[in-house]
Structure 1
Amino acid sequence: MSIRTRPPRVNAATATLVLLGVAVPLVAALCVGVGQLEASPAEVVRALAHRLGGADDADLDPALVTVIWRLRLPRILVGLCAGAVLSVGGACLQAVVRNDLADPYLLGVSSGASLGAALVIAGGAGGALTTTGGAFLGALAALVLVMALAGGGGRLSGSRLVLAGLTAGYFLSAVTNLVVVLSDSRDAVRAITFWMLGSLNRSSWADVPVLACAAALTLGYLVLRARALDAVGLGDDVARSMGVNPFRLRRSTTAVAALGVAAAVAVSGAIGFVGLVVPHLARRLVGATHRALLPAAAMLGALVLVAADALARTVLAPREIPLGILTALVGTPLLMWMMRRRPRPR
C-alpha cells in the first residue's frame, strides 16, 4: 500500500522573492527602451545582440544601438545596484537602531558625499579628482566622523548612532551650503545643486562593476548576519541572551551598510526616501525576518529606482526631473498612507 505524500507548500515569502526576481530583469528591459528615442523590447534585444554578438541587422538604427548601449544600459544597471544598496542599508539601519524612520542618510554619509562633490566641482579639480571620487572620499570621512562620535567608551548604542549621524549630517550640510554660497561660478552652483538632488545621468560603464561589487558585498554580508539582526531588533537584552553582541553587530553592520551607501551616493547623488520607504513595503510583502526581508528590499529597491528614473527622464522630456525630487514626491504620500494604516499602540 503506497502512502501518498502531500507536495510541500510554497512559502508566501519565497513565492514573493521569486516574483520579484522575475520582475527585476523584465522591468529593467522595459526601462531600457524608454526615452526620447523609443525602442520596443524586441528592438532592445536586437540592439544588444548586435552590440554583443556582432549580429548584422540592416533594419536596426545605429543611433538606437549607441543610445541603448552607451547611455541607457549602464544607467539602468547603476540604478538597479544603487536602489538595492539604499534599500538594504535602510532595512539594516532600522533594525540596529530600532527606529522605523531610520534611513541610510541618517548616518551623515549623504552629507559627506555632497560636501566632497561640492568641493571638487567648486574647486574645478575635475582633472585631478572626479566628482564621484570626491563624493566617495567625503562619504568615507563622514562615516569615520560618525563612528568616532557614536563609539565613545566602546559602547555603540542605537540612540548614540542616531545622534551622531544627525550631528555630523547637519554640520556637513552647513559646510556644503557655505561652499555653494562662496562659489563665484553659476555653472558650479547649478552642478552642485543638481548633484545634491540626485540623478543617474552621469552613470557610465566604469561605475557598473564598482557599484555591483559594493551591492553584492553589502547584501551578502548583511544576509549572513540576518539572524543577529533579528535578535538585535528585539532589544539588546534579547540579543545578548541569544549570544549576539549588539555593540559589535551595530559597528560592523553599520560600517558595511554605510560603505555600500557611500558607493551608491557617490555615483547617483543624494536620492532620498528609497531607503526609508522600500523596507516598509518589503516587510508588508515578506515579513520582518531579515533573511527574507533583505533580498526583498534589495530587489524592490532596484525596481523602484529604475522605474522612478524612467519616469524622471520622460514625464517632462526633454527636461529631466532630479530623482531626489521625484522619489520625495512619491515617497512622502506613500509613507503617510503607511503611517495611517499602521495600528496605533494602546
Structure 2
Amino acid sequence: MPQGQGAVSPGARPGPAIGLALALVVAAAVIAALSLGVGSTGVESAWHMLDDPVAARIVWDIRAPRTLGAFAAGGLLGLAGAVAQGLFRNPLADPFLLGSASGASLGVALALAALGLSPLATQWAVRLGLTGAAFLGAVAAVMFTLALARGVQQTLRLLLAGVVVGVVLGSLTSLVTLAVPQTLQAMQGFMLGSTAFVGWAACALMLAVGLGCLLLALGLSRVLDGLALGEATALSLGLPLTPLRAALVAVLALATGTAVAQTGLIAFVGLAAPHLVRGLVKTRHAPLLVLASLMGGVLLMLADLLARGLLAPQELPVGVLTALLGGAYLLWLMRGRME
C-alpha cells in the first residue's frame, strides 16, 4: 500500500460513510447488549439478571462500565490511529509510534517500584496512582520525542525519533523490572492490556477526552487532506504546517495516553480501525476520523466480549486477543496485496 493513501476526490459522496456509521452504531449496541450478559459463569440474559439485586449490581457496577470503557478506549485508539496515519502519510503508522506506549510502561514500572522502595515513595505512588503514572509517562515520552526531533517540522525525523525513544524507554522499563522483580507480575498485566478494572469515572474521563480530541481533530482534518496530497500541495494551499502538525501531535498524544493509562497496552486496534474503514468507504479525513473512532470502539468491545466468553470462566487478556486478530488481519491484507 503506497504512502499517502486516503486522498479522495472532492466529489466523494457522503452516503456510504453515513451508512457505515449507522452500521457501526448498531453493531456497538448489539455487542454491548451481549457483553452485559457475559461473565465468569458463561452467557445469560442481562435483563433476567436485573431481577436479582446482587446480579444487577454486577451488571451495573462491573460489566456496564467495562463495556462502555472498552468502547471509549477503542474509540480513542481508532482516532489516534487515523491521525497518526494521516500525519505521517503512512498506512502502517499506529498510535504508539511516538513512544507513548514505552513511556507509559516506564511510568507504571517506576510507580510499582516506588511502592516497594520506601514509605515516602509509597505515599507518592498511591496518591498519583498507576493510571496517572502511565499517562504522565506517555506524555513525557512524546515530549522527549519532540525534543529529539527538534519539533515537528520534518515528519521523517519525528518518526525516527519516536522509534528511538520507544526502544530506549522500553529498555529502561526492562531494567526497572529486573531491579525490582516483584513488579513483574503487575507489569505483565499492564503490558497485556485489560478492561477489567475500568470504572464509571474512567469511562467519563475517556469519553470526555475522546470528544475533545475528536472535535479538535475534525477542525484539523483539512490539514490531513492536504498532507495526503503531499507537503508541497499542503503548503500551496496556504496551510501553516508547523503549528498544525504540533496540534495533531497533541491530539495523538492525548488520545493515546488516556487510553493506555486506563486499559494498558492494547495492540492493533489503532492500526486496524482506519484500515478497515478505508477498505469499506473512500472519504475525506473528517468522516474518516469519526468512522475510525466508531470502528475502534466496536473492535475493542468485540475483542473484550470474546476475551471473556471464549474460555469462560477463564479470561483471556484482551491485548493478546487484539494482537492475534490484528496480526491475522494484516497477514491477510499483505497476502491480498502481493497477489
What TM-score, normalized to structure 1?
0.87
Distance apart, 1:24 and its partner CA: 1.8
Distance apart, 1:130 and its partner CA: 1.1
1:195 aligns with 2:165: no
Asked whether the 8 Å contact 2:85–2:94 carries over to 1, the reply is yes
Alignment match, 2:9: none
How large is the RMSD of aligned CA atoms in angstroms?
1.8
For 1:130, the aligned partner's letter is G
> More relative contact order in 1 or in 2 (CA 8 Å, sep 6+)?
2
The 1:298–1:325 alpha-carbon spacing in structure 2 relative to 1, beyond 3 Å, is: same
Alignment match, 2:17: 13
* 1:153-172 to 2 correspondences below 5 Å: 156-172=153-169
Asked whether the 8 Å contact 1:89–1:257 carries over to 2, the reply is yes
Q: Take 1:155 and 1:116, find their aligned partners in 2: how far apart are those partners? A: 24
Alignment match, 2:136: 137
Asked whether the 8 Å contact 1:107–1:143 carries over to 2, the reply is yes
CA deviations 1:115-155 (Å, max 9, x no partner) are 111111222134232110111111111121111122x2x55
Q: Take 1:319 and 1:34, find their aligned partners in 2: how far apart are those partners? A: 12
Distance apart, 1:180 and its partner CA: 0.8
Alignment match, 1:295: 290
Asked whether the 8 Å contact 1:207–1:267 carries over to 2, the reply is yes
Gaps of 5+ in 1: 1-8, 48-59
Alignment match, 2:275: 280
Distance apart, 1:270 and its partner CA: 0.5
What SS is found at the alignment partner of 2:266? Answer: coil
Of structures 1 and 2, the larger Rg is shown by 1
The 1:29–1:230 alpha-carbon spacing in structure 2 relative to 1, beyond 3 Å, is: same
What SS is found at the alignment partner of 1:128? Answer: helix
CA deviations 1:223-281 (Å, max 9, x no partner) are 12212211112110010111212322221111112111101100100111111111100
CA deviations 1:145-175 (Å, max 9, x no partner) are 111122x2x5522211111110111111111
1:207 aligns with 2:207: no
Alignment match, 2:10: none
For 1:88, the aligned partner's letter is L
Alignment match, 2:86: 95
Asked whether the 8 Å contact 2:17–2:283 carries over to 1, the reply is no
Asked whether the 8 Å contact 1:115–1:175 carries over to 2, the reply is yes
Q: Take 2:227 and 2:37, find their aligned partners in 1: how far apart are those partners? A: 43
1:33 aligns with 2:30: no
Identity of aligned residues (%): 41
The 1:247–1:341 alpha-carbon spacing in structure 2 relative to 1, beyond 3 Å, is: farther
For 2:101, the aligned partner's letter is S
CA deviations 1:21-66 (Å, max 9, x no partner) are 232223212212112243325336xx3xxxxxxxxxxxx1222111
Distance apart, 1:190 and its partner CA: 0.5
1:326 aligns with 2:313: no
- Indicate which of 286, 298, 311 corresponds to 2:306: 311
The 1:336–1:184 alpha-carbon spacing in structure 2 relative to 1, beyond 3 Å, is: closer
- Indicate which of 44, 48, 69 corresponds to 1:43: 48
**Of 20-29 and 210-219, the range deviating more from structure 2:** 20-29
Alignment match, 1:77: 68
Q: Take 1:228 and 1:85, find their aligned partners in 2: how far apart are those partners? A: 20
Asked whether the 8 Å contact 2:71–2:298 carries over to 1, the reply is yes
Q: Take 2:200 and 2:142, find their aligned partners in 1: how far apart are those partners? A: 27
What SS is found at the alignment partner of 2:39? Answer: coil
Asked whether the 8 Å contact 1:119–1:179 carries over to 2, the reply is yes
1:105 aligns with 2:96: yes
For 2:248, the aligned partner's letter is T
Alignment match, 1:51: none
Q: Take 1:247 and 1:211, find their aligned partners in 2: how far apart are those partners? A: 28
Alignment match, 1:3: none
Gaps of 5+ in 2: 1-12, 116-121
Asked whether the 8 Å contact 2:146–2:152 carries over to 1, the reply is no
Q: Take 1:337 and 1:10, find their aligned partners in 2: how far apart are those partners? A: 28
CA deviations 1:282-304 (Å, max 9, x no partner) are 11122241122111111111010
Q: Take 2:35 and 2:24, find their aligned partners in 1: how far apart are those partners? A: 16
Alignment match, 2:7: none
For 1:145, the aligned partner's letter is F
For 1:229, the aligned partner's letter is L
Moved over 6 A (4+): none
What TM-score, normalized to structure 2?
0.89
Q: Take 1:93 and 1:324, find their aligned partners in 2: how far apart are those partners? A: 20
Asked whether the 8 Å contact 2:99–2:166 carries over to 1, the reply is yes
